[in-house]
Chains A and B, each alone.
Chain A
Amino acid sequence: MAMNLARRILLADADAFYVSVARLVDPEGAGKALLLIVGGSAERRGVVTSASYEARRYGVHSAMPMARAIRLCPKATVVPVPWEACADKSRQIKTVLEQFTPAVEQASSDEFYLDMTGTAGLYRNEPLAGTARRMRAAVWEAAGLSVSIGGGTSCLVAKLAAGVAKPLPGTTGDGVQIVEPGAEGEFLRRFTLADLPLVGPKFQERLRRLGLRTVDDVLRHDRRTLVAWLGDREGTWLWERVRGIDDAGVEPARAAKSISRDATFAADLEGDAALERQLLALADRASADLREAGLLARTVTVKIRDADFTTRQARRTLPEPVSSDRAVYAVARELLAKLRAARRVPARLLGVALSQFLRDDAGGQLSLLSPEPTASHSPPLPPRPHAGASDRRATRAVRTRRRGAGANPRAVNRGSGRGV
């Protein structure tokens, strides 16, 4: 029975993904800089998306304000994130991995969970580590990027193993680390609680006050004690995690719940017109992502962070799903006006998020015929609303030109005229 099979889960994690892609895109500049920081804006108000291993030695890490990163590592070369190239590379990696198993879940742009349960026969009982090494080679071949692969009986173990597998200077990592079934408990003992996914700074602080810093610290207590300290949900959660127990499965089709774009400004923005221009660009990009994913959205959210770091947001759910730049922008502009009316101070960040998705090709149209079993070779009926709306043509044209514009993906944007 499939139920009784030990799960075989892999996590393939691209090594220094944004840094590697930036180097591939710009071999003469970023490609030659050992100290490389990717992210933020040249004006240094954004944050670090990723940094080369050499730059990390100076204390630079992702999500750090760019200004601080540059103070720590003043000789570093700073380049913007090559978003489009990253999306391409991400797709290439996924395509390669899907040749090994159909159950591939993309957890982020550079992390992919693979469920290899039941593939032992397919790969003639090749050890999982062997399959993983072939995957690494195939990704290198197709995308020119190096991935580290961790494996085990759960997503949690696979994720931690991938961290151990990273071939960093000064470690023994060689790109693949598989934890055999039964060895999870022992493997987990080397980690601190901060290493576990979902254990953030606040939770760490709470645990530290209870004298819990490492996995071993937690293993000394029974479940009842943990539940008494942390409550039923978190106590049980932690008790299971330190033993490598994690039932979360690989969900190939796990769909995003929202699509968002935001921008931190080089200098705080004061004027409504300037904010609206930024909003247009963000609405443009968010709705382009939406259409790329073949989705329509019913909810539009605008987020604004004031100069004093107060973050506020406003949202509206529409009676009809939308996907065009024009429709998204029209709603976003009203929401921005509302936020600005409530508090009109300089803003340092603006964001647009789209959620409550509907498949673009469904639009709620119900189908007359279920896909016939007798016609199994033909795909299900395409419930398709009328295409050819001028909005979509316009956005498609802009997207095509934007792609062609190469290095500067924002070279072509729609004008912010009121009349559009």
Chain B
Amino acid sequence: MKFTITREQLQEGLTAVAAAIPAKTTLPVLSNVLVEATKQGLRLSGTDLDIAVSTTVAADVDADGAVTLPAKKLVDITRELPSAPIRFAAVGEQRVSIECGRSKFKLLGLPREEFPSFPAVKFDGAWQATAGVVHKLVGHVAFAASTEESRPILNGVLWELRPDRMRMVATNGHRLAKMDVPASGGTSADLIVPPKALEQIRRLFASDAAIDVAKSDNHLGFRSGGKLVFTRLIEGPYPNYEQVIPRENDKAATIDKAAMAGALRRMSVVASDQTHRIRLAFSGGTVKFSVQTPDLGEAQDELPVTYEGEPLEIGFNATYLLEILKYMPTDEVRLTLKAPERAATVEPVGWDDPASYMALVMPLRLVD
């Protein structure tokens, strides 16, 4: 193996791959980056066994070959080198010499045979999507996925592919986010994807990039340009979320998002740090916020609101509401409600976008 590459090209390739490489691992080869020199250029790959990322960058290859090198050290060396061509050459079985100007390094690697092979995903008949659309779905939905380990399926984001639309849904069992975007063509599929993989997609692919998405038995692959991302899929079925989306909420409030978030944050300061319980009382033209915490104190606040329906008092985990507001794309939001122990929905008001978006949140029981 022997090749020459610019510092910029190498850095670009390493940046793409490094985020997939675990900082701590029990399998030493996983902290290495796989470096493959071929006639097409230099391919760099990293994996934590759940997600694998691979990218190809331009390089002058004199002799083909492959080795794995400690990723962190290679990144650090590249960062410290001057902006000049870098020459790599294999020295014996697992050693690589790196030269740039007068700087010389020898790095000890591990044989490529120890590096895990990538999932066999075939891209024939792949779905096509614009990266920006996937980014939008992920950016508004993935936050709602569970981080608890007790029900693994909820750790994933449900990605429904249909001939006329794409939808993402995530929930932790207490709050849920759902977004639809129009699409055309392609076969139907339900994929449950780890959010970590979706974050890699957001990071690696520019908004205007066209990406191919393909599935094997239990893996999903994304491809665009020279970049490849593979992820393990979570096995379904996903819970029937449709049946928990309320259709009979007969009370609706339209509120200024920033004002509501401000009031919620103020109440949160005094809310129980175990339940984050706050009380919202809707009636006429106002919503009153209040919180009472035994060992701390109490607080009240009030906002104007456009409210239709019978007066209602309802408790929520302030953290859940704040989180949902954070992802709402418009200045005003619409809440729909039914009763103190029924799900509430939150939607953007006047969103100028072909996508449709909603979140829902279950209340906290008021204890007195």
Interface contact B341-A382, CB-CB below 8 Å: no
Tell me how far the C-beta of B303 lies from the nearest C-beta in chain A, rounded to whole angstroms. Answer: 22
Interface contact A364-B275, CB-CB below 8 Å: yes
Query: What 5 additional pairs, Cβ within 8 angstroms, besides A363-B274, A365-B362, A383-B173?
Result: A327-B295, A368-B171, A368-B244, A369-B171, A382-B151
* Measured CA separation A382–B366 after assembly (Å): 19
Interface contact B152-A378, CB-CB below 8 Å: yes
Interface contact A368-B176, CB-CB below 8 Å: yes
Interface contact A378-B150, CB-CB below 8 Å: yes
Which residues in B have their C-beta under 8 angstroms from that of A392?
Answer: 274
Q: Mark B129-151, 1 if CB is under 8 A from A, else 0.
A: 00000000000000000001011
Interface contact B294-A320, CB-CB below 8 Å: yes
Q: Residue A245 at the B interface, CB < 8 A? A: no
Residue ID in chain B nearest A322 by CB atoms: B294
Interface contact A368-B275, CB-CB below 8 Å: no
**Most chain B CB atoms below 10 A, which of A296, A298, A363, A367:** A363
Interface contact B273-A331, CB-CB below 8 Å: no
| 11 sampled A-B residue pairs with Cβ under 8 A | A319-B293, A319-B367, A320-B272, A322-B295, A331-B295, A360-B274, A367-B173, A368-B343, A368-B360, A375-B151, A381-B173
Interface contact B294-A365, CB-CB below 8 Å: no
Interface contact A386-B276, CB-CB below 8 Å: yes
Interface contact B150-A363, CB-CB below 8 Å: no
Interface contact B363-A366, CB-CB below 8 Å: yes
Q: Residue B105 at the A interface, CB < 8 A? A: no
Partner of A368, one of B173, B315, B366, B368: B173
Interface contact B275-A320, CB-CB below 8 Å: yes
Interface contact A363-B174, CB-CB below 8 Å: no
* Measured CA separation A375–B176 after assembly (Å): 19
Interface contact A385-B274, CB-CB below 8 Å: yes
Ranked nearest first, the 4 interchain pairs of A and B with the lowest CB-CB distance are A364-B365, A381-B173, A327-B295, A318-B294
Which residues in A have their C-beta under 8 angstroms from that of B241?
Answer: 369
Q: Mark B264-275, 1 if CB is under 8 A from A, else 0.
A: 000000001111
Interface contact A389-B273, CB-CB below 8 Å: yes
Which residues in A have their C-beta under 8 angstroms from that of B276?
Answer: 385-386
Known: A318-B294, A322-B295, A364-B367. A374 touches B277 (CB 8 A): no
Q: Mark B339-368, 1 if CB is under 8 A from A, else 0.
A: 001010000000000000000101111111
Tell me how far the C-beta of A294 lies from the nearest C-beta in chain B, rounded to whole angstroms. Answer: 12
Q: Mark A343-361, 1 if CB is under 8 A from B, else 0.
A: 0000000000000001010
Which residues in A have their C-beta under 8 angstroms from that of B148?
Answer: 382, 384
Residue ID in chain B nearest A372 by CB atoms: B239
Q: Mark A371-395, 1 if CB is under 8 A from B, else 0.
A: 0101100110111111001111000
Known: A364-B275, A372-B239. A319 touches B368 (CB 8 A): yes
Query: Count of chain B residues with Cβ under 8 Å from any Cβ of A?
Result: 39
Interface contact B295-A367, CB-CB below 8 Å: no
Query: Count of chain A residues with Cβ under 8 Å from any Cβ of B?
Result: 37
Residue ID in chain A nearest B342 by CB atoms: A366
* Measured CA separation A162–B152 after assembly (Å): 46
Interface contact A369-B239, CB-CB below 8 Å: yes
Q: Residue B25 at the A interface, CB < 8 A? A: no
* Measured CA separation A18–B239 after assembly (Å): 49
Interface contact A320-B293, CB-CB below 8 Å: yes
Interface contact B150-A375, CB-CB below 8 Å: no
* Measured CA separation A322–B367 after assembly (Å): 12
Q: Residue A177 at the B interface, CB < 8 A? A: no
Interface contact A320-B277, CB-CB below 8 Å: yes
For window 261-290 of chain B, which residues contact chain A by CB distance below 8 Å? 272-277
* Measured CA separation A358–B343 after assembly (Å): 21
Tell me how far the C-beta of B319 lies from the nearest C-beta in chain A, rounded to whole angstroms. Answer: 6
Which residues in A have their C-beta under 8 angstroms from that of B173?
Answer: 367-369, 381-383
Q: Residue B260 at the A interface, CB < 8 A? A: no
**Most chain B CB atoms below 10 A, which of A296, A298, A385:** A385
Tell me how far the C-beta of A337 lies from the nearest C-beta in chain B, rounded to whole angstroms. Answer: 15
* Measured CA separation A333–B277 after assembly (Å): 25
Interface contact B362-A368, CB-CB below 8 Å: yes
Tell me how far the C-beta of A325 lies from the nearest C-beta in chain B, rounded to whole angstroms. Answer: 10
Interface contact A367-B362, CB-CB below 8 Å: yes
Q: Mark A232-270, 1 if CB is under 8 A from B, else 0.
A: 000000000000000000000000000000000000000
Partner of B364, one of A363, A368, A382: A363
* Measured CA separation A96–B227 after assembly (Å): 56
Which residues in B have their C-beta under 8 angstroms from that of A323?
Answer: 274
Q: Residue B338 at the A interface, CB < 8 A? A: no
Q: Residue B207 at the A interface, CB < 8 A? A: no
Residue ID in chain A nearest B152 by CB atoms: A378
Q: Residue A151 at the B interface, CB < 8 A? A: no
Q: Residue A412 at the B interface, CB < 8 A? A: no
* Measured CA separation A363–B277 after assembly (Å): 9
Which residues in A have their C-beta under 8 angstroms from that of B368?
Answer: 319
Interface contact B237-A366, CB-CB below 8 Å: no
Tell me how far the C-beta of A276 lies from the nearest C-beta in chain B, rounded to whole angstroms. Answer: 16
Q: Residue A46 at the B interface, CB < 8 A? A: no
Interface contact A391-B174, CB-CB below 8 Å: no
Tell me how far the C-beta of A396 lies from the nearest C-beta in chain B, rounded to whole angstroms. Answer: 14
Which residues in A have their C-beta under 8 angstroms from that of B273?
Answer: 386, 389-391
Tell me how far the C-beta of B21 lies from the nearest C-beta in chain A, rounded to whole angstroms. Answer: 28
Tell me how far the C-beta of A321 lies from the nearest C-beta in chain B, rounded to whole angstroms. Answer: 7
Q: Mark A55-85, 1 if CB is under 8 A from B, else 0.
A: 0000000000000000000000000000000
* Measured CA separation A261–B244 after assembly (Å): 44
Q: Residue B153 at the A interface, CB < 8 A? A: yes
Q: Residue B55 at the A interface, CB < 8 A? A: no
Q: Residue B38 at the A interface, CB < 8 A? A: no
Partner of A363, one of B151, B240, B275, B295: B275
Which residues in A have their C-beta under 8 angstroms from that of B272?
Answer: 320, 322
Partner of B151, one of A319, A320, A381: A381
Which residues in B have their C-beta under 8 angstroms from that of A369?
Answer: 171, 173, 239, 241, 244
Q: Residue A34 at the B interface, CB < 8 A? A: no
